Amino acid sequence: MKTKIFVDGSEGTTGLRIHERFQNRQDLEILTISPELRKDEMERKRLINASDITFLCLPDAAAKEAVAMVENENVKIIDTSTAHRTDREWAYGFPELSKEYKTKIQKGKRISVPGCHATGFISLLYPLITKGILPGDYPVSSFSLTGYSGGGKKMIAEYEDANRLAEYNAPREYALNQQHKHLKEMKYITGLSREPLFSPIVADYYSGMLVSVPFYLDMLKGVSSPEFVQELLTEYYKNELFVQVMPFGAEADKHGFLSGNSCSGWDGLKIYVTGNKERIVLSAHFDNLGKGASGAAIQCLNLMLGCKEEEGLVL
């Protein structure tokens, strides 16, 4: 019997990509809503409760409203908004972090997909804090470079407008008030004592993300070299299909450059450790539309269904 899937919010960037990934899935039955009824509350409620699993690709407030529509206790929810990422009743959809995280996804009824910036940030810090290398009160700073698709349909239209302003040609820093919506989950999931200093940057390319975090080695416990950190991360993620820790010095293969769009169209995540015996930079490379959004949502679906974790994904 096929699993019935409904995508609430299928016209947005993430919803459209999730639908695209279903095209060759023979194990799923996709429940569709008529275009004229996309905002009809009763029709949405009917389809949510008729599904086995519903994806929510909605703004936060609308996602909470959709969850309140669930009357069928067997319905499972995968939410791509920020609404439930720090809610203890919801599983956080990052299975590579630990067996506990993966098990909660496999057995859960309510899954919250991580934010794109948060995905890169957490992939770098979580192992260090878990292993006691990074103190929870470390004054963490981070920057994150993203393609403009991360801003949704409106930003895509702005960047692809033939008459756009010249300022769109250059990278642009945003969330200058240090109130980015991913900060809460960055702190909550990693266990940091306070939110990091975070500088997101949008650039003139469609998709791909580069999240970097610098560290002073003498402020990390028991660490004497960047190679030590690379080996620790390699060991931590050694059995994970979706996370690749690159060899130390691998950036030389790219002539010393790391590009934000290098993983566009790919659903995994690569980690680089660069630097010297005094200072290092950890960098996570992935697609903001892949491991940073729809790819992660499909990975969670696969775990819930008990099929191959990479089913329908590009690795």
Task: Kindly state whether residues 282 and 299 are assigned to the same domain.
Answer: no
DSSP-derived 3-state class of residue 199? strand
User: Bridge-partner residues for 215, per DSSP?
Assistant: 280
Angle at 108 between CA 106 and CA 112, to 5 degrees: 100
Is there a domain that residue 66 lies in? yes
| pLDDT value, residue 199 | 98
Q: Residues 304, 5, 93, 230: is their CA dihedral positive or negative?
A: positive
| pLDDT value, residue 215 | 98
Question: What 3 state SS string does 44-112 have?
Answer: HHHHHHHCCEEEECCCHHHHHHHHHCCCCCCCEEEECCCCCCCCCCCEECCHHHCHHHHHHHHHCCEEE
Task: Kindly state whether residues 132 and 272 are assigned to the same domain.
Answer: yes
Task: Kindly state whether residues 42 and 161 are assigned to the same domain.
Answer: no
Task: Kindly state whether residues 124 and 143 are assigned to the same domain.
Answer: yes
Task: Kindly state whether residues 197 and 265 are assigned to the same domain.
Answer: yes
- Whichever domain contains 273, its CATH number is 3.30.360.10
Task: Kindly state whether residues 260 and 301 are assigned to the same domain.
Answer: no
| pLDDT value, residue 10 | 87
pLDDT in tens, the chain (315 residues): 899 999 999 888 999 999 999 988 999 999 999 999 998 999 999 999 999 999 999 999 999 999 999 999 999 999 999 999 999 999 999 999 999 999 999 999 999 999 999 999 999 999 999 999 999 999 999 999 999 999 999 999 999 999 999 999 999 999 999 999 999 999 999 999 999 999 999 999 999 999 999 999 999 999 999 999 999 999 999 999 999 999 999 997 888 999 999 999 999 999 999 999 999 999 999 999 999 999 999 999 999 999 999 999 999
Task: Kindly state whether residues 135 and 253 are assigned to the same domain.
Answer: yes
90: Cα within 13 Å, side-chain hemisphere: 25
Domain that holds residue 13: 3-114+292-305
Task: Kindly state whether residues 88 and 184 are assigned to the same domain.
Answer: no
Helices (H) and strands (E) in the chain, counts: 9, 13
- Whichever domain contains 60, its CATH number is 3.40.50.720
| pLDDT value, residue 130 | 97
Residue 279: both structure tokens together: 């200072």
| pLDDT value, residue 254 | 83
Q: Which residues are catalytic?
A: 116
Is there a domain that residue 183 lies in? yes
Q: How far apart are CA 129 and CA 148, in angstroms?
A: 31
Task: Kindly state whether residues 265 and 130 are assigned to the same domain.
Answer: yes
Is there a domain that residue 311 lies in? no
| CA 194 centroid distance within chain | 21
Is there a domain that residue 314 lies in? no
Task: Kindly state whether residues 283 and 182 are assigned to the same domain.
Answer: yes
Domain count, the chain: 2
Identity of the residue numbered 26: Q
| pLDDT value, residue 252 | 75
Task: Kindly state whether residues 274 and 219 are assigned to the same domain.
Answer: yes
Task: Kindly state whether residues 59 and 142 are assigned to the same domain.
Answer: no
Is there a domain that residue 312 lies in? no
